[in-house]
Structure formats: C-alpha cells, structure tokens
Structure 1
Amino acid sequence: MPKHFFVLGLDPLRLSYLKYLPNAQDYRFHPLFRLEEVVNPATFDYDVMLERARQQLAAFPEPIAGIIGHWDFPTSVLLAHLSELFGLRSASLAAVLKCEHKYWSRLEQRKVMPEWTPGFCAVDPFAENPREQLSLDFPFWLKPIKAHSSYLGFRIENEAAFDEALKKIRAAVHSCGDPFNQALAHIQVPEEVGPVDGNWCIAEEILTGKQCGIEGALLDGQYRVHGIVDTVKDSRNLSFTRYEYPSVWPRYAQQKICAAGEKILQHMGFDNSAFGIEFFWDEREDRFWILEINTRISQSHCDQFVKVHGVSNHLVPIELACGRLPDFRRYRGDYRTAAKFMLRRYRDTVLEQAPPEVQIEHVERDFPGSNVVIAAEEGHRLSEQSMPDSYSFEIANIWLGAQDQQQLLDHYHQLADSLEFHFADGGRPEPFQFNCVRY
C-alpha cells in the first residue's frame, strides 16, 4: 500500500524534486494549503489555518504517514502542531516554538553554550522610549522576534538609524507577530521570556566571519548531520547571494559546528524532526557563533542535494516518518558542487520587462541542469515584493551544478549576464563577483 504524505505549500517546483526520492512510486503526496497561503502571506490567522488543516487531515480516508514542510513560519509551526494532534512523528510544538522565538532561543543558547551566543537584548518597538531598553553599543542588528529572509532586519549604526528602523518595524511587524502570538498561546511560555512576544524585537551583536549551515535530523535522540551548506553574502555583507553545497569549510570547523548542533538541540528538547542551524566562524580568531535554529529542511537546498546526491533532502522527513535516519552517503548525483544563487538589484525601480520564457528555456539548454525562476513581477516596483530583504531585491533565483567551485561561479556569471531584464532606471541586475574560497 502507498504511504500518504501531506506537504505544506506544495508547488510544482518542489513537487518535481519529490520524483528523485528512492522508491518514489511507493509514496503519494497531497497539498496542504496553496503556496501563497503559507509563503509570505500579507497577513493570516494562525488558528483559522490550524483548524482548516485539521479538518482536511481528519477527513482523509487513508492512514497518513507524515506531514512535510520546507518553509518558515507558519509552515514550520503548523507541521509540529498538526503532527502532535494526529500522533505523527515530529518535534513537539513547544520545542519548535522555543527554537523559533528569537529571544527565547537566545536565552536557552546562553545557558548551555554562552561562548557561542552573541550579546543580545529584547526591545519593545512600541515602548515610549525604546532606546532605554538597549544594553548593546552601536552598531548592532535589530530584528523582529519572528520573521524570515531578513525581513525587517536592519543594521543599526546610530540612534537616527535606530529610530528610522523602528518606524518601519512598527508599521509591519504585526503581519507575522500576531499569528506567531496565536501559536504561542497554545503552549506555556516560561516567565523568563516575560512579555517578549512576536511583536517585539531583538537587538544582537554584529557577528563577523563566514556563515555556514548544517542540515540534519534526530530520531529518538539519535543525531545525524546529512549536509553542510555555505551561506554566502554579498561584498557589502548585507544580502544573501548563494547557498553552496557541499561546504568548503575545513573539516575541523565542520566538526565543531556539527558537535555544537547536537549539544544545543538536546538542550532544547528537540527530537524526531529535521533541523537546520546557521553558524558564523571568525577564522582569524577561531571563534564560532550560533546565528539561528530552523526546525525543518530548507526548500532552498533541495536542488543542491539532487545535483550532488541524486536525491532531494525531502528524503529526510520521509525516512524519519518510516523510523529511519537518512544517510546521503549512499547516493551520488551528476555534480560535485551546486548552489542556489539570488540575483539582486540594490536600487528600487520598476521592472518593465523580465526575460521571456523562450529566452529562459534557451539559457537552461546552454547550461545543462540549470533552473531559472524570475522572482520580480513585471510592471511593479521591486519594493512591492512580499517581505523583501531590507537592503536589496531578489530579481531571480538561479540553480546550478558544476564539478568544482570555479566552474560553478563562472557559469553563474555567464548565465546571469545572458538574462535580459529591462528596468525603468536603465540599470541591470548586480551579480557580484565572487572569488573561489579554499582552505
């Protein structure tokens, strides 16, 4: 009998990755919510979504093997909440919210790994005098307690920048903060977190160095990392430009962050689920920092796993549901390295014309295995994108594979240069030049 899985926000692109699963014919995948309902919705009611999903799952006539999610909130929290309601294998709702609440998560990190935890403090953006809450010196990062993709995240250099950032945060923080508070109402939040909820912010010490993330899973306390992905920012160190797999960090540094991941997740009480943890490494001082904990696989990494292993990281929740830890060492793909690139513009303008479909098809034929998805919408200002980065605008996502890093970066620039965008200001996308990173 086939095993039935529900996938939150299932879309054609992610569905195409599922065909690379071993024994894919043994599984049936069903959508749970449309993509636009769970990815960057302008506003939503968490409890209404929870009840809609509960009714759909309860009405399904066959046994459900598991629920799969590869997006941030609300997907990540709905996955744990629904799994708990239906007795499916997953991390508990409380553990997931503990990891995803930025301030609560930092409190827990500081208890068990203080040397890996940057300085931080909570800030109520609606307080009469928010500056009085600051315990950090300028500069620092200011972020909502719950957001993603750098939305409403600002580097604060001085008091004027702090005041300006707060204006923008006050105007938009409720769109994600209110639903997150609805989710928090389903658990007991400890007294030490206090009034800090989804509409508050966290100020954090600015971290320096290189950024890298581990993806892994826990099964009844058994911990395994199945992939390490380099997260590379632009030359301004503000916006993400690519997720490159596998990591080029030295083995020593990889071993350090893998061990740190196990320690922090065990402390959090996080188990029976996939995870992703982002780290910084200051190579000069040989110092490591925890950036954030994600309670899911990443949809941004699916294609890289297919290219390098021949199987998507969707294998992780499938294997966990079947009571097994995934082992990607068994699989080999067509490429030795792969990346998702985010092609960007740094000035707001109107996209008058995106590359036509026939041009994209031609480009993808020229670069076998590539995939190009236009992220900006014709006839609209780039700033009208849902939940944009605070410093730039995604124009396109480009997935590529190669046999080494130099070839990967060369092909990216060749492909990006061949895409014809027409902007109202006459400018072009800005595919920053990168050097190969070797150790």
Structure 2
Amino acid sequence: MTANIFVIGLDADNARVLERLPDAENHTFHGLLTPDELQHGDIDIADLLDKAEQVLDAFDGPVDAIVTFWDFPAATLVPLLCELHGLPHVPLEAILKCEHKYWSRLEQRAVIDEMPHFGVVDLDDAEPRLPEDVSFPAWLKPVKSFSSELAFRVADEEEFSGAVAEIRAGVGRVGDPFEEVLGKVALPREIAEVGGAACLAEDALHGVQAAVEGYAYQGKVTVYAALDSVDYPESSSFLRHQYPSQLPEEVGQRMKDVARRVMERIGFDNGTFSVEFFCDPQSGQVCLLEINPRHSQSHAELFELVDGMANHDVMVRLGLGQPPRHRLGAGPYQIAGRWYLRRFSGDAVVKRVPTAEEISALEEKVEGVRISVSPAEGHWLSELPEQDSYSFELAQLIIGARTENEMEEKYRTCVDELHFEFGDAA
C-alpha cells in the first residue's frame, strides 16, 4: 500500500527532494496549505485549520501522516491536525516551548548553563529598558517571528529605542496569532503574563555559529549531525550553511549533549528538531542560541550530497510512526554548502537578474552546483519575503565539493558570472 503523506507548506523544491528519498515509490506526497498561505499577510489560525481540515476530509483515501519542515504556524498546526486524525506527532506544548523564545529560555535554564543572560522588554512601558541582567551589545527580538524578521543587534540606548519602535509596530502580525495557539495549552504564570507578542532581550553572543539536527522517537532523543553557519564578515547575515561541521569534534559533542538535555527537558517526542549555537573553537565552549521544533529544510540537499539521503527522510518516517534511519557519508561529496549571495547597500529596483540560460550554462560549467535566483526583474528588493534586518538575498547556491577550499572556489567562480543590475525606479 502506498502511504499518503500530507506536507504542510509543500513547495516545488522540497517536493523534488521528497521524491528522491529511498522509499519514495511507496509514498504519495500531498501539499496541505501553501507557503504563501502560511507566511504572507495576516495569519488566521482558525481559517488555516479549517482549510486544512476541508482538504483532509475530502481526500478519498487514508491519511497516513501529516508533517512539516516549517516553523509557526505550520509546526503548531501539525499536532492540532494529527490529534484529530490519531496520527503520531510532537505534543503541542513541547512545540510551543521551543517556539516561544522566552519560554524556551526558562526551560533551558533548568538544565543547562550554556546560554546568555536574557529577559523581557516591556513594549507597553513609556520608556522601555533593557532587563537588569542584560547589557549592551544585546539582541532584541520578538518572542515569536519569522526567520530573522524584527531581530536587531543594539549597541546603545539610541539603537535600542529605534529597535523597540520597529518591534512594537510589527510584533503583532505573528505574535497575535501565536498567542491564540498559546491559549490551547496550560501556560505557566510567567508565559501567560508576557503572552505571544512580547519582546526578548539577550546578551549578544560571540564566536562562530553552528547547529545540530536530531529527532525524538518513543521517548529517546537522538542527535545525529552537526553543521556550521558562516556569516558574512562583520555582519550577522548568513553567508553559508555547510555540512558536516568543520569544528573540532569535542565542540560538536558538546553541542549534541546540550541539545539532548534540553529536548528531554522540554518533553519533545515523535518529531525532528534543530538547535543553533555560538561556539568558541579555541576554548570549546558553546552557547545555545535557538531551538527549532523541526529539522531544517534548507539543509536537506546538503545531507543528500554528503550522505546520499535528505534529512526529510527522518521527518517522513517519524510521521508514519516508523523508526528513523541515517547513513552517514554515502553521498558523492565530502562537504556541501548552501550559500547566500546578498546585497547590503539598501533597497533598489531589480533591473536585471541572471537568465535561465546563463544559470544552466554555469551549473554545467561548475560541477556540483545548483543556483536559484530570489528576486524578479521589475520588483523592489524590499518586496522579497522573510529577509533579515540588514540585507537582501539575491541568490542561493547549493554546492558540493571534496574540501571546504574547493567549495569556496566554486562559489567565487559562480558569483563572478552571476550578473544583476539595480536601479532607483522601475
């Protein structure tokens, strides 16, 4: 029998990855809600649930799994829908303990020391201040947002005031529907008081960024991979994610141990997760940055290039109630990266992007490379969804190589031949 697997937020790129999984011939993947419905405009939780239920109820056949590789609202819709259909899923409360940045920090503090000082900034105060334990430089961010939206690194009171004003103006778009989902579980007093549209402040972390990926199955937490996140010089914007991590092995083991303890504390089960860190390669110290209650779909092709199988396979098997599997090092390359070509010099109209023919020729010329362009001609860069606060994404490049140096050389070759043009008016 073919298993019917409904994927919340399924897009064309991830559909192709899913169809390349080892057991794909035994699965039929169905999209359930589009990325646009989930992430753009107002987020109406009741409406999204109703739309999803209409699709599932009208389906002529068994619903064998409901899964996703997206954060809120998708990650919270999965347990709500799975509960209705009697399917394996992560408990909703565990999802929310990951998604709510302040609640997550409180849970982490109970079992680890590897974390920054943190506290809530009162957005309703006429003169908001940093929490007592937090000092400049600091990061301000909503307790729930998309990607790095409304996340600001502030060095002084002036930057703090500007960031607070922007967060105050925009926090409700995601925070208000997030609070609606929070209302579906019994909240501790500290979380009920701050709600879902609050602002978190944390000491700025230092070092290099990295992450681990893992899963929980039948009460056991397994962390099976470590990856690096490399920033642009003098910036907090990602230049690339690469797998496997090039950090010392003891640093990777420390990250895995911290992640395991935290996910056990949260009560995470029957699902995938990724945990982000800042690391000091010299001292070996690690500091937990953020927990995501899903594996990273942006890493899927990296696992495919190095291990011969995307991390989506773990999500699918858990959704079906099956034990996960992983086969390390079975792919054609020893290292792979997802690179981000960015513009830092402000908003502009896109006058020209690389043509499909140019991209195809470049992919043929540089072996192990796949390129996707983000903006469209005639549009403002500011119209791009889910951008960080400091840059605009022009293109993504998936690159497989034998060494990190070879991967960097392939990236530079591609960037030299990707021709964009910008202007001030359409």
Structure 1 equivalent of residue 19 of structure 2: 19
Q: Give the residue type in structure 1 aligned to 2:26.
A: D
What do the CA deviations read for 1:258-292 (whole angstroms, capped 9, x no partner)? 11111111110111110111111123443221111
Shift of 1:380: 2.4
Structure 1 equivalent of residue 390 of structure 2: 391
Q: Which sits farther off after the overlay, 269-278 or 374-383?
A: 374-383
Structure 1 equivalent of residue 129 of structure 2: 131
Aligned mate of 1:320, from 318, 337, 341: 318
What do the CA deviations read for 1:378-423 (whole angstroms, capped 9, x no partner)? 2222223223211111111111111111101110111111111011
Q: Give the residue type in structure 2 aligned to 1:392.
A: S
Structure 2 equivalent of residue 217 of structure 1: 215
CA distance in 2, matches of 1:384, 1:134: 38
Shift of 1:331: 6.4
CA distance in 2, matches of 1:283, 1:303: 26
Q: Give the residue type in structure 2 aligned to 1:419.
A: L
Shift of 1:330: 6.0
Q: State how 1:258-269 maps to structure 2 within 5 Å.
A: 258-269=256-267
Q: Does 1:228 align with 2:226?
A: yes
The 3-state SS of whatever aligns with 1:400 is strand
Q: Which sits farther off after the overlay, 203-212 or 229-238?
A: 229-238
Q: Does 1:122 align with 2:83?
A: no
Q: State how 1:143-162 maps to structure 2 within 5 Å.
A: 143-162=141-160
The 3-state SS of whatever aligns with 1:328 is coil
The 3-state SS of whatever aligns with 1:7 is strand
List alignment gaps of at least 5 residues for structure 2.
none
Residue identity (%)? 39
List alignment gaps of at least 5 residues for structure 1.
426-439
CA distance in 2, matches of 1:263, 1:81: 26
The 3-state SS of whatever aligns with 1:6 is strand
What do the CA deviations read for 1:2-53 (whole angstroms, capped 9, x no partner)? 0010011111111110122112110000000122112x31222112111221
Structure 2 equivalent of residue 375 of structure 1: 374
Maintained 8 Å contact 1:224/1:325: no
Aligned mate of 1:307, from 305, 308, 315: 305
CA distance in 1, matches of 2:413, 2:7: 35
What do the CA deviations read for 1:220-268 (whole angstroms, capped 9, x no partner)? 1122223211111111131111110011111111111111111111110
User: TM-score, normalization: structure 1?
Assistant: 0.93
CA distance in 2, matches of 1:106, 1:10: 30
Maintained 8 Å contact 1:20/1:306: no
Q: Does 1:332 align with 2:330?
A: yes
CA distance in 2, matches of 1:339, 1:99: 26
Q: State how 1:60-71 maps to structure 2 within 5 Å.
A: 60-71=59-70
Q: Does 1:3 align with 2:39?
A: no
Q: Which sits farther off after the overlay, 22-31 or 218-227?
A: 218-227
Structure 2 equivalent of residue 278 of structure 1: 276
Structure 2 equivalent of residue 436 of structure 1: none
The 3-state SS of whatever aligns with 2:222 is strand
Maintained 8 Å contact 1:47/1:183: no
CA distance in 1, matches of 2:230, 2:41: 28
Shift of 1:320: 1.5
Structure 2 equivalent of residue 46 of structure 1: 45
Q: Which sits farther off after the overlay, 332-341 or 132-141?
A: 132-141
Q: State how 1:217-256 maps to structure 2 within 5 Å.
A: 217-256=215-254
The 3-state SS of whatever aligns with 1:112 is coil
Instruction: Tell me: CA distance 1:64–1:288, structure 2 relative to 1, closer, same or farther (3 Å).
Output: same
CA distance in 1, matches of 2:134, 2:192: 20
Maintained 8 Å contact 1:335/1:403: yes
Q: Does 1:420 align with 2:419?
A: yes
Shift of 1:133: 4.8
CA distance in 1, matches of 2:257, 2:387: 33
CA distance in 2, matches of 1:80, 1:296: 12
- Pairwise CA RMSD: 1.7
Q: Give the residue type in structure 1 aligned to 2:175.
A: G
Shift of 1:135: 4.0
What do the CA deviations read for 1:88-127 (whole angstroms, capped 9, x no partner)? 11110111001110000001111111x2121001013232
CA distance in 1, matches of 2:281, 2:224: 24
Q: Which sits farther off after the overlay, 148-157 or 131-140?
A: 131-140
Structure 2 equivalent of residue 361 of structure 1: 360
Maintained 8 Å contact 1:84/1:93: no
User: TM-score, normalization: structure 2?
Assistant: 0.95
CA distance in 2, matches of 1:308, 1:252: 21
CA distance in 2, matches of 1:353, 1:316: 39
Shift of 1:192: 2.3
CA distance in 1, matches of 2:250, 2:129: 41
The 3-state SS of whatever aligns with 2:64 is strand
CA distance in 1, matches of 2:71, 2:214: 16
Q: Give the residue type in structure 2 aligned to 1:423.
A: F
